[in-house]
């Protein structure tokens, strides 16, 4: 092969690679064409997920963004138009995005971890199951995942390749998840069908123990909850009720409930647990059901900001949103899991203990058991015969 022939072959290969990266069924695979309709102040740092053209978009204080962290040469061949992505989470302390991807209507899901500068990417967990939602404890590095087929809630560690540990089982249908790592709380939505449909908001300790149900009225129980999110600035929980066109919020005990009415929040494209709410220091953001846009409400006055409208192309519906700052992911000084997993061999969970303090609880993978010392893990004994 002459040098001229070699150069021509390389040029053809480069063209083919470019087409495969940026075209799916004739559309650009980069679904991130975000822009603000008007100039507004106090813009948050945002991650947004899109489907149809699967994408993870980041927009900071600029007026537009075309960055897509999902479309990447390392695994572009695994992406198909029917791919659905969700469970958007972010570790602001090391700049890592965490999310799952699955093929629509197929019970197989894969959990990904990718750095913002794309210097490191990996598949964390691969399961024949239907992931429903995911939330992240940035201190212990534990990811909580709802597995729809097995009706389980499990935790995996984002920094270690251990098998999952079971957090909850034998529950009704679980959908949305949220955690407050500095308080030791896990929040989740459970839908049960005994004596009619009931959509419950529950709180547990991070290890899955001490489950309590928030008190909601009989009428509200009939309407499903599309998203829950923790406000780390004021220690409150927000959730959306699309069937009643409202957003509600309470303290972390489920008390002091407030309601923001006449808000049409997107109810999810394929997964009802899509994270369609986000919270910053002064605003609540929501994915509108009226258009492919994100709008916001001022938290104190509960007034809509008429000038704020973040839009994306119609071919790439926004399905999840998340506002992020480094300051919102604080680590309390006395947190028992902040260093070397608190001495646990595998999973460390911080749970409430005595007047706002936290204590360590160690757990093992599902194929291990906790040793008598309370920190080590040993293999389960196989039954004889």
The secondary structure of 8-62 as a DSSP string is HHHHHHHHHHHHHHHEETTEES----EEESS--SSPPPEEEEETTTTEEEEE-SS
Q: How far apart are CA 170 and CA 120, in angstroms?
A: 37
Residue 245 binned pLDDT confidence (cut-offs 50, 70, 90): very high
Three-state DSSP class for residue 80: coil
**In the predicted structure, residue 21 carries a pLDDT above the cut 80:** no
The predicted pLDDT at position 84 comes to: 80
Instruction: Write down the residue that tokens 């419950």 correspond to.
Output: 200
Pairing mode, strands 246-251 and 236-241? antiparallel
The predicted pLDDT at position 201 comes to: 95
Percent of the chain with pLDDT over 90: 48
**In the predicted structure, residue 251 carries a pLDDT above the cut 90:** yes
Q: Tens digits of per-residue pLDDT, 296-316?
A: 999 999 999 999 999 988 888
Residue 19 binned pLDDT confidence (cut-offs 50, 70, 90): very low
**In the predicted structure, residue 40 carries a pLDDT above the cut 80:** yes
Of the chain, the end-to-end C-alpha distance in Å amounts to 66
The predicted pLDDT at position 383 comes to: 61
Q: How far apart are CA 319 and CA 242, in angstroms?
A: 14
Mean of pLDDT values over 166-171: 92
The predicted pLDDT at position 20 comes to: 28
Mean of pLDDT values over 47-74: 71
Residue 237 carries which DSSP code? Answer: E
Question: Where do runs of H (alpha helix) occur along the chain?
Answer: 3-22, 218-221
Three-state DSSP class for residue 204: strand
Between 120 and 334, the higher pLDDT residue = 334
**In the predicted structure, residue 68 carries a pLDDT above the cut 70:** no
Between 156 and 216, the higher pLDDT residue = 156
Residue 217 binned pLDDT confidence (cut-offs 50, 70, 90): confident
Of 26-40, 114-128, 174-188, 296-310, least confident by mean pLDDT is: 26-40
Mean pLDDT of the chain: 83
Mean of pLDDT values over 342-360: 95
The predicted pLDDT at position 301 comes to: 96
Mean of pLDDT values over 177-191: 96
Within a 10 A sphere around the Cβ of 378, how many other Cβ atoms?
A: 12
The predicted pLDDT at position 65 comes to: 64
Q: How far apart are CA 281 and CA 296, in angstroms?
A: 12
Between 78 and 244, the higher pLDDT residue = 244
Report the range out of 54-58, 128-132, 366-370 with the highest average pLDDT: 366-370
Three-state DSSP class for residue 277: strand
């Amino acid at each position: 092969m002459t040098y001229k022939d070699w150069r021509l072959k390389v040029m053809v290969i480069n063209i083919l690679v470019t087409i495969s990266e940026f075209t799916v069924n004739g559309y650009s695979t980069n679904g991130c064409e975000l822009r603000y309709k008007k100039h507004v102040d106090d813009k948050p740092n945002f991650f947004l997920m899109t489907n149809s053209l699967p994408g993870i978009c980041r927009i900071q204080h600029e007026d537009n963004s075309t960055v897509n962290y999902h479309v990447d040469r390392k695994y572009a061949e695994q992406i198909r138009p029917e791919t659905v992505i969700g469970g958007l989470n972010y570790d602001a302390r090391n700049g890592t995005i965490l999310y799952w991807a699955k093929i629509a209507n197929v019970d197989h899901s894969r959990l990904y971890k990718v750095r913002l500068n794309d210097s490191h990417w990996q598949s964390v967990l691969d399961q024949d199951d239907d992931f429903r939602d995911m939330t992240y404890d940035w201190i212990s590095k534990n990811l909580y995942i709802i597995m729809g087929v097995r009706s389980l809630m499990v935790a995996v560690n984002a920094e270690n390749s251990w098998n999952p540990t079971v957090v909850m089982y034998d529950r009704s249908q679980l959908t949305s998840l949220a955690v407050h790592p500095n308080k030791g709380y896990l929040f989740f939505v459970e839908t049960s069908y005994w004596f009619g449909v009931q959509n419950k908001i529950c709180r547990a300790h991070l290890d899955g123990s001490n489950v309590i149900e928030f008190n909601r009225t009989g009428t509200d129980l009939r309407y499903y909850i599309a998203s829950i999110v923790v406000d780390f600035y004021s220690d409150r929980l927000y959730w959306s009720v699309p069937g009643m066109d409202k957003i509600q919020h309470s303290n972390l005990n489920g008390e002091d409930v407030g309601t923001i009415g006449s808000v049409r929040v997107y109810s999810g494209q394929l997964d009802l647990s899509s994270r369609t709410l986000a919270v910053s220091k002064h605003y609540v953001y929501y994915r509108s059901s009226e258009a492919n846009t994100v709008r916001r409400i001022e938290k104190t006055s509960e007034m809509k900001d008429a000038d704020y409208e973040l839009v994306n192309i119609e071919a790439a519906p926004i399905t999840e949103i998340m506002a992020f700052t480094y300051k919102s992911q604080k680590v309390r000084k006395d947190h028992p899991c902040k260093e070397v997993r608190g001495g646990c061999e595998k999973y460390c969970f911080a749970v409430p203990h005595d007047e706002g303090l936290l204590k360590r609880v160690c757990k093992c993978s599902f194929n291990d058991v906790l040793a008598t010392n309370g920190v080590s893990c040993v293999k389960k004994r196989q039954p004889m015969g």
